[in-house]
A = this chain, B = another copy of it.
Amino acid sequence: HLTLKRVLLLVSNSTLHGSGYLDHCQQQISDFFGKSVKRVLFVPYALHDRDGYTKTARDKFRTLGYEVDGIHEAADPVEAVRKAEAIFIGGGNTFRLLKSLYDNQVVSEIRKRVLEDGVPYMGSSAGTNVATISISTTNDMPIVYPPSFAAIGLVPFNINPHYIDPDANSRHMGETREQRITQYHEEVDTCVLGLREGCMLLVEGNKATLLGSTNARLFSRGKPRVEYNPGSDLSFLLNDAH
């Protein structure tokens, strides 16, 4: 079964309030890539300044013992994916990211490397959105038009990164995050895992575990919402038929 080789670390947010870039998940990153990975292919497509973003990722990953290659530095991005030991897609604008992944024709190659070859995939924020079925539960503005909202599809559900509870004191009348996800479920019945800032999902084959310091909230069409603590086994989400 293809999915048995899959290893994913899907992080809600790159930066937690009061700490530096990826500080809050650095232990999980080290555990995830381990000792055998030496180089990580970084995909900076979600931000406009790809060089600056790659430097940020490179500086952080060096402190953890990994070298970073920017996919935009490669002459052939598809070839870069083919050769990658490990992949990290960073956050930013999800529409810009997905459009660039399609423009550079790496969507299916990344899917193949991760699902068939077991290349470790880490995503943060927008990089977590594109690992799922579609980008339909991103929080970002549609600043560019991708050829599809279908994403890499490494898991058979959707994620809302940076999930945030309604603020009871707010006078703002725009939809709450939960209302937006409810609108999604008026159209589609795919489950949505709301990852609050501070938590992340570890997927190893057909096993999924919530990690980090905050809870996740699961939205299933027509069912009560369910809260999960860090350490929870969410493997049932990997079953298409759950």
The residues of A with any CB-CB pair to B shorter than 8 Å are 13-18, 48, 92-93, 95-96, 135-145, 148-149, 162, 164, 171-175, 180-181, 183-184, 186-188, 197
Contacts and interface: CB of A to CB of B under 8 A. Distances in A.
Contacts of A162: 172-174
Given A16-B173, A162-B172, 12 more contacts: A14-B173, A17-B173, A48-B186, A92-B183, A140-B180, A140-B183, A141-B180, A141-B184, A142-B142, A143-B184, A164-B172, A172-B197
Contact of A137 (B138, B141, B172): B141
Contact of A136 (B139, B142, B149, B172): B142
Q: How many copies does the complex hold?
A: 2
Contacts of A187: 48, 96, 143-144
A142 B148 contact: no
B93 A183 contact: yes
A95 B140 CA distance: 13
A173 B139 contact: no
A93 B188 CA distance: 14
Given A17-B171, A171-B17, A173-B16, A48 B183 contact: yes
A48 to B, nearest CB: 4
Contacts of A96: 183, 187
A149 B146 CA distance: 10
